[in-house]
Structure 1
């Protein structure tokens, strides 16, 4: 690079720095609002990462992180050799996939249907009813499910018996337990998950629909050629983010509804880690399990993000 080029580069960089400083001074209050969020992630997300080291050690609470004996990959080898972990991992993967298949499109479909309601009274009433389950804890929802699905006094089984069929023990039957888990999760989250899509739908230019009507496009044509393409970037980003939690099936929900009768299909990584880590004090082993789960989620996010960007859609980075 010539001397003139170097000087022009330095001058342009100084100009950029001055603009950044002026921007910071102008919007200092907005940057100040970011501080609590940044501190939250540093204190509760990044600093605790130091604890991951115990996955490679035989951790002792008396010796501490640094002084505990280093064992390398021993806990990971034990994890892959444990038949119980294989069962737990397969249960977690199946329930996560079921939730992704049924739970991810649910808010999209609900938002599209709600967007077509023209009377504001009905639209707001439906929105309120759909949002309400999100604000109920799984303890409350679990209690409701136990009562409603009871094989002796539950409303659902009374209706089944009225139709002439035998009652079903939904929460104690391996064939029905996963269905209850997925259906209750969709019911609880579908309204709240639709908020982002409703916001994206509100941002579509109405002139696009007016032009489509002039060209003779019906509702289905407008949906496929205007609404869906406009929502697609939002759908892609949320899909990538959901894959980051693909093995997080929800500890509270599973723990409240799980019982020994359905351990073979309902025991997941979160409940397994709780039993082995908290009740059995296997801290190093369960940290290794958690690290393995996080590594899978990270790999999935990276791969899917690259695929989506190659398809011409925006990724998360």
Structure 2
């Protein structure tokens, strides 16, 4: 593939540039390969980001260069890219809102990949057809290990967490963060946005009390050495987590990859739960989407 190309994607014309640029220098993974990954993984990725305002993490010069988070849709975005205006509190410049991109189709995903938007981050809530914000439909527990703990310890915590959630009538699914930890989600039905944070905080405190040698729920780094932080704060409506199947900006093109509970149970070394782009495509081809969420359940009081 040459440096530039004009392509048609689902009826949209896109100009792709600098396709030979290496974005992951450690392994020579190029922008063309990033675009190819997102194009191929789109059938399972898009359902998890549809109707969710996206925060982009862009790496114009690759993972070894500078990066920036982008919330407002770029001014040069094609007119067909969906935008949604979301009110904010204390936004910079005093605008009081952010105009987000909503990734609804393959053309938008390819356009973002061409911008070197390697990471896609989305909230636990969706917007309606006219941009109105809905209540959260997911609760998330972000398991973050403090060295020397690793994803192996996160797997132990995830299994205990799963028992709690199932006992509360929820149907949890799990994915790697694509970095060091794991993220456990469950589909929920709530009447008020703050309910997911309240519930997640309560579960995190409970497990920290039951497993003090393994789990912490407070953010202070001094408490986290050798333990796993259950980050319940990711349920704040103002926060986002990396989307399922998103690439991560690591030395290699690792992916926030959905995994089975059997794989979590079988985790013995870090490499058991680390997956790069090619491996994730093969996993999806063999097993489909491992992040299929069930019917939303009400949170217990």
TM-score normalised to structure 2 length: 0.21
The structure carrying a bigger helix percent of its residues is 1
TM-score normalised to structure 1 length: 0.20
Q: Which has the higher contact order (CA 8 A, sep 6+)?
A: 1
Structure of greater Rg? 1
The structure carrying a bigger strand percent of its residues is 2
